[in-house]
Structure 1
C-alpha cells in the first residue's frame, strides 16, 4: 500500500512539473491571431473608390447625409467630390458598358461637370456582362471582337479629360469580372485591343477585377497572364466562413501576401492591387444571405487598410469598394450615424498629411 501511494505521488509530481512552463518561456504566436502592425505613411498611396448607381428602397439602416439622390444629380455629385477629396480618395471608378449607355454616361458627365476645378480624377470600369460570355460562347464565337474594340474607342472622349486617371502614363481601365472573359485566344484579343487603342494614341493599363477572391491564384491565371497589367479581388468580404470572418484582417494578410508574390513572379509581372471595404451588410439587399456581416468598426477598418499597405504593389494603388454602395453598406460616403469618420480614417491611413 505504501509503495502504491509513493508511486502515485511521484506520478502526480511529474505531471505538475511537466505542465508548468518557465516564466521566461513564451508560446509562438499563430499568424491568425497575430496583431496587425501599424504601417506609417511616409508617401501617399493612390486611392480609387468604386462609384455606383444606387437603387433606393432596400432596408438600409444608415441614412446618407446627402439624402437619397438620383443618378447624375448635380448637387449630390458636387458634395461627393468634396467629401471624397477631403477624405483621401484620389479618383472615382465608374462603370462603363458602352458610349450609348445613358445611365453610365450621365453619371460620368455629372462628375465631370461638378469637378471643374480638377479636385479629383476618375477612371472607367468596363462591364463585359452584356456579352454573356461562357466557355462555350466566347467573344470570337459571337463574332464580337470588333464590337469590344469599338466600346474601348468609345472611351476616348473621357480619356481626353485631363482628370482621367493614369498609371505609368497609361490610361487605367478596369475589366469587371475579368476571370470570366472567355475567349478562344484571350491574349490575342487583348493584344488587338491594346494595338487598336495605341494606334489612336492611348496606351492602356488594364486592371482585372475578380469577384471571387477566396480561391487559389492559379485558378484563374490563364485569364491574366500576358494579358493584364494588374488584378484585384473586389468582394472578399462577402463570405460565409466563420474563421475568415472572425480573423478577417489576418486572413487577408496571408492571402494577399501569397497572391502578390504569385502574380508578380509566376504570372509574368502582373501587379496585385488590394481592395478594401469599411463595412459590409449582405442582408440589406438579400435577407436570405448566409454571408457574415462586417459591422462598421474603426479599428477593423484601420487593420484592413494596414494589411493593404503591407501588400501594396508598385503603383501603390488601393481600391475601396465602395464610395456609395448603400445596398451593401460598404460606403465611404458620410451618414448620419458616423459622419465623415470613415473617410477621416482612410485619409489618416493613406496620406502623409
Structure 2
C-alpha cells in the first residue's frame, strides 16, 4: 500500500512540474471592463461628510483645511460639484441631533442660493444604541423615530430637495442594523404617517459593504425602496483588490437581479475614485486603492452597467479626506476626478 501512495505522489509531482505557471490572467474574473456609452444622463449623488483633519492626510485640499459648516468652503464646493454635474449632496442627519450636521446643512442652504445643487439626508440612528436585545420598540423609541422624520419636513420643503418619482429621498445609514421587533410594521407606520402629511418617502438602505443579499434581506423587504453598499473598497481579500472592478461587477449583477426580481427593490451602485484606510487607522490590514484614472473609469462603467430604474450613482465621497475617497480638488490631482465623473455620467 505504501508503494502505491509513493507512486501516486511521484506522478502528481511530475505532473505539477509540467504545468505552466498560473498568473493573474488565469483568474476566473480576469476580463476587460467595457465602456458603457452615456446615451442619457445619470443622476449622481455625492456623500458630504463631517471632516476631522487627521495629521496622516497627505493630500493638500485646494480649499484648505476648512471647519465643518464653513460657508466660504461650502460655496466653493457647490461650484466644484456643479462643474462636475453632480446632481445632489447627501448630508448626514442624526437623531438625536448633532451640531456639526446642522452647521453643514445650514451652510449649504445659505450658499446654494442659485439652486445649483439638490440635496438629500442620510439618517443616522447610531445614538439610539439599538441592539438585537434592545430594539427600537423595546426602548420605547418608535414614536421618536417617526417624529424625527417629521422634523425633516422643513428640509423636504426646500425646492432643491432630491426626489425620485416625486418621493423624498432619505438614505438610512446601516439599515441592516436597524433592530426592531417588527421592522416591516415600523416602516409601514412611518410611511403612512408621512404620506398623510403629504410626504411620500423613497428610502435607501445603506449597508457598509457587499454581502450575499439573502443575508440581510429581512431588513429590506417590505421596507425599503433601494439598497446601496456604502463602502466598496475596505477589504483584505487579495483577489478582490486585484480584480476589484470585476468583483463589484459580479456582486452588483447578482444583487441587482436578486433584489429587483424578489421584491422590486433598486440597487444603487456606490463608487469612489480611491481609498486609503490607513489614514484613519495606520494599522489597518486592508488594501490601499491609489487614485488612478483607469481605476475610476472602470468602476464608473461597472456602475453604469448595473444601474437601476432611477439611474442613480452615489459617489463616496465629495470630501472624506480621512479615507482619501474625496472628489474635492487637491494640489496633486487638481479637478481630474470631477472631470472624469462628468465625462462618464453626462451626455454634455
> TM-score, normalization: structure 2?
0.92
Q: Unpaired segments of 5 or more residues in structure 2?
A: 1-18, 20-24
Partner of 1:204: 201
Q: Pick one of 293, 296, 302 that aligns with 1:298.
A: 293
Deviations 1:230-265 (A, max 9, x none): 000011200000000000000010110000000101
SS at match of 1:32: coil
Are the counterparts in 2 of residues 58 and 285 from structure 1 also a CA contact under 8 Å?
no
Residue by residue over 1:12-69, the C-alpha shift from the partner in whole angstroms, topping out at 9 and shown as x without a partner, is xxxxxxx9xxxxxxxx986511100001001000000000111013311100000000
Which string of whole-angstrom CA distances, capped at 9 and with x for unpartnered residues, describes residues 188-207 of structure 1? Answer: 00011111111111000000
Q: Are the counterparts in 2 of residues 171 and 203 from structure 1 also a CA contact under 8 Å?
A: yes
What are the Cα deviations for residues 161-188 of structure 1, in whole angstroms up to 9, with x where unaligned? 0000000100000000000001010000
Pairing 1:312–2:307 present: yes
User: Corresponding residue for 1:4?
Assistant: none
Aligned to 1:341: 336
Q: Which runs of 5+ in 1 are unaligned?
A: 1-18, 20-27
For the residues of structure 1 that align with 2:347 and 2:113, how far apart are their CA atoms? 25
Q: Distance in 1 between matches of 2:53 and 2:27?
A: 43
| CA distance 1:240–1:153, shift in 2 (3 Å) | same
* 113, 117, 127: which one aligns with 1:116: 113
2:88 corresponds in structure 1 to 91
1:130 aligns to 2:131 (yes or no): no
Compute the TM-score of the two structures, normalised by the length of structure 1: 0.90
Q: Distance in 1 between matches of 2:301 and 2:209?
A: 22
Secondary structure at 1:254's aligned position in 2? helix
Return closer, same or farther for 1:349/1:29 CA change in 2, 3 Å cut-off: farther
| Cα distance in 1, alignment partners of residues 272 and 40 from structure 2 | 22
Match of 1:233 among 222, 226, 229: 229
Query: 1:12 aligns to what?
Result: none
How big is the shift at 1:100? 4.3
Q: Is the 8 A contact 1:31 1:250 kept in 2?
A: no
**Segments of 4+ moved more than 2 angstroms:** 28-31, 98-102
Aligned to 1:329: 324
Q: Would you say the 8 A contact 2:142–2:186 is kept in 1? A: yes
Please report the RMSD computed on the Cα atoms of aligned residues, expressed in angstroms: 1.8
* Aligned 8 A contact 2:95 2:127 in 1: no
